[in-house]
Amino acid sequence: MKTATAPLHLIPAGLGEAAWEIWLPPATREAALGLTHWVVENAKTTRAQLKALGHPGPMAEISITELPRQPKQEDLDRLLAPALAGIPLGLMSEAGCPAIADPGALLVRRAHERGVPVKPHVGPSSLLLALMASGLDGQRFAFHGYLPVKEPELLEALKRLEKDSARLSQTQVFIETPYRNARSFAAILAACRDGTRLALACGLTTADEWVMSRTVRDWKQTAPPPIEKVPTVFCLLG
Amino acid sequence: MKTATAPLHLIPAGLGEAAWEIWLPPATREAALGLTHWVVENAKTTRAQLKALGHPGPMAEISITELPRQPKQEDLDRLLAPALAGIPLGLMSEAGCPAIADPGALLVRRAHERGVPVKPHVGPSSLLLALMASGLDGQRFAFHGYLPVKEPELLEALKRLEKDSARLSQTQVFIETPYRNARSFAAILAACRDGTRLALACGLTTADEWVMSRTVRDWKQTAPPPIEKVPTVFCLLG
């Protein structure tokens, strides 16, 4: 008799210090606590997440395997082996929703190819929370990940995003390594037009959360916001 | 003494028939049940949602006002009046996360202008769940809302999205009115290249949920999927 294939559960991780009740539906928590096999971005993070969800058992009994940064097909097949053998498998990334613009997507794609059912679970996404709270009424939106690091390329990228935003009525969403946040904020004020709207969403779901949304003109007239070293999502509408 | 301004809570609504435990964190539910004043896309939907969350009291005691489709500034100020007077206010749309590519964004923008704190809550987003489960590993993604209705414009839009997708490594996400789903699926097979990947996510968070992801070539070789009249998110990577 052929063993039935078990699903690959996509389990979101928390965004920062906060009780799970704030950011996870009870059914997602239950699914996470029931899993014995995981593929994850960072094993230490996943152990901490499971503890925060109130996992009762010893962590040593849970199989947690880290996903290679550039997984080959044979890696993916090896990682999917439990699901193919009938054991439900979890996928978790470092923070927020897994398999969005990260290598986890390759595992999900391979799951589809191998006939493993894929089960997405509701959880926190800093991009989506930022977009909701930005008040930017683009009819469309685009997420760009990280912008270029070097100054001339960064300014050029910002000008292009602003132009596309105005042309397509598209809210532009991007993130930055926290220690570069203040520098990116300064670059936006330098590159963008006064009438362009910029929203900053900081420390989402944590006790220190705040969201501010105003025009570049208004941002120029206030003290720089306290975004250095705090996870921040930038939303821009030209 | 000046009354402190109360926050505008952005409360996601369910995507279909499913117990709240599947799609809402307990803290979001608690925040929703504690609100006495709401601005919403559809009052009937919000009353049904509050009942599904286990609201104890008579609905008649809750103030629920519908947001005009094209609200003017004076409408927005009138709707924000409770928050400005110190009464916490909720914003809910027809389904999923409020204020994303809908008129609710204008209320959020005005809240920022009037100094009303904006509090986004975690909840279900069909776009994000579809993207997670698609396995499409674009480093970026864009949401386009609805594509053109007329056939020639639709085919042209699909070809442009596919081209941009390949050029920018950007997963393209769009939706369709459910009774047009099958027609849009046929248009994608007609317009796109065989190697392009297409994921369909249907009935997300409900008992009938399924997600399929394969190449256009493989879609052409299988029976059409049962997407007619079911809310479906389309994800495409060229």
Sheet hosting strand B63-66, strand order edge to edge: B63-66, B37-40, B89-92, B8-10, B118-120
Whether residue A180 sits in one domain with residue A94: no
Tell whether B189 is covered by a domain. yes
Res. B131: pLDDT tops 70? yes
Residues B13 and B116 in one domain: yes
Task: For residue B70, give the amino acid letter.
Answer: Q
Nearest to B112 among A22, A205, A214 (CB): A214
Residue A144 CB partners (closer than 8 Å, separation 6+) = A161, A172, A173, A174, B140
Determine the pLDDT at residue A175.
Answer: 94
**Which residues in chain B have their CB less than 8 angstroms from residue A122's CB?**
22-24, 122-124, 129, 205
| CB-CB under 8 Å, A98 with B131 | no
ipTM above 0.90, yes or no: yes
Nearest Cα of chain B lies from the Cα of A5 at a distance, in angstroms, of 15
Summarised one tens digit per residue, pLDDT across range A177-188 is 989 999 999 999
At B145-163, the pLDDT tens digits run 999 999 999 999 999 999 9
Judging contacts by C-beta atoms under 8 Å, the chain A residues touching residue B170 are 142
Q: How many CA atoms lie within 13 A of B3 on its CB side?
A: 12
- Share above pLDDT 90 across residues of chain A, in percent, rounded to a whole number: 88
pLDDT of residue A45: 95
Q: How confident is the model at residue A162 (pLDDT cuts 50, 70, 90)?
A: very high
**Whether the predicted pLDDT of B210 surpasses 90:** yes
Indicate the DSSP class of residue A226. S
Asked if residues A200 and A185 have their Cβ atoms less than 8 Å apart, the reply is yes
Find out whether A64 and A38 touch, Cβ atoms under 8 Å: yes
Amino acid A228: pLDDT: 85
- Judging contacts by C-beta atoms under 8 Å, the chain A residues touching residue B210 are 117
Give yes or no: residues B156 and B111 share one domain.
no
Q: Which of the residue ranges A23-32, A229-238, B99-108 would you say has the lowest mean pLDDT?
A: B99-108
Q: Side chain identity at A73, as an amino acid letter?
A: Q
CB pairs under 8 A between A and B: 180
Last residue of a domain, one of A101, A120, A139: A120
More confident residue, B28 or B138: B28
Q: Are B34 and B116 part of one and the same domain?
A: yes
Look up residue B211 and give its two tokens: 């997600």
Predicted confidence band of residue B229 (pLDDT cuts 50, 70, 90): confident
Nearest-CA distance from A121 to chain B in Å? Answer: 7
| Domain identity same for A109 and A34 | yes
SS3 label, residue A52: helix
Query: Hey, how many other C-beta atoms are within 10 angstroms of the C-beta on A119?
Result: 22
Residue whose structure tokens are 């629920």: B64
| pLDDT of B59 over the 80 cut | yes
Which of A69, A137, A197 is the best mutation test for B, with the most CBs of B within 10 A?
Answer: A137
Same domain, B112 and B133: no
| A163 and A103 together in one domain | no
In a domain, B14, yes or no: yes
The mean of the pLDDT values for chain B is 94
pLDDT at A138: 74
Give the pLDDT score at B2. 61
- The answer to whether residues A132 and A196 belong to one domain is yes
Strand B140-146's sheet: what is its strand order? A210-215, A197-202, A232-237, A170-175, A140-146, B140-146, B170-175, B232-237, B197-202, B210-215
Residue A3 lies in a domain: no
CATH of the domain at A52: 3.40.1010.10
Is A234 in CB contact (< 8 Å) with chain B? Answer: no
- What band does A112 get if pLDDT is binned at 50, 70 and 90? very high
Residue A192 distance to chain B (closest CA, Å): 19
Across A129-158, average pLDDT = 93
Domain count, chain B: 2
Question: Is B28 domain-assigned?
Answer: yes
Whether B1 maps to a domain, the answer reads no
B187 and B146, same structural domain? yes
Among A72, A100, A120, where does a domain finish? A120
Portion of chain B with pLDDT greater than 70, in percent:
99
Please check whether residue B126 touches A, CB under 8 A: no
Q: How far apart are CA A137 and CA B94, in angstroms?
A: 17
pLDDT in tens, A39-95: 999 999 999 999 999 998 888 899 999 999 899 999 999 999 999 999 999 999 999
Q: Is the dihedral of CA B42, B44, B47, B51 positive or negative?
A: negative
Non-local (6+) Cβ contacts of B145 within 8 A are A139, A140, B101, B174, B175
Is A76 contained in some domain? Answer: yes
* pLDDT above 70: residue A1: no
pLDDT in tens, A194-234: 999 999 999 999 999 999 999 999 999 998 899 988 999 99
Helices B104-113 & B73-84, crossing angle to 10 degrees? 60
B125–chain A Cβ distance below 8 A for any pair: yes
Q: Which domain holds residue A37?
A: 8-120
Report yes or no on A191 lying in a domain: yes
Is B201 a domain residue? yes
The predicted pLDDT at position A164 comes to 95
Indicate whether B89 and B162 sit together in one domain.
no
Q: Is A122 on the interface with B (CB under 8 A)?
A: yes
CATH number, domain at A152?
3.30.950.10
For residue B222, count CB atoms less than 10 angstroms from its CB and return exposed for 0-12, middle for 13-18, buried for 19 or more. exposed
Nearest chain B Cα to A138, which residue? B101
A111 at the B interface (CB within 8 A)? yes
**Are B114 and B164 found together in one domain?**
no
Residues B85 and B130 occupy one common structural domain: no
Look at residues A120, A142, A162 and tell me which one is the last residue of a structural domain: A120
Residue B1 pLDDT more than 90? no
Cα B146 from Cα B177, distance rounded (Å): 8
Q: Which of B27, B105, B138 is opposite residue A21, by nearest beta carbon? A: B27
Residue B114 Cα, gap to closest chain A Cα (Å): 11
Judge: B141–A140 Cβ closer than 8 Å, yes or no: no
Give the gap in angstroms from C-alpha B178 to the nearest C-alpha of chain A.
Answer: 19
Mean pLDDT for chain A overall: 94
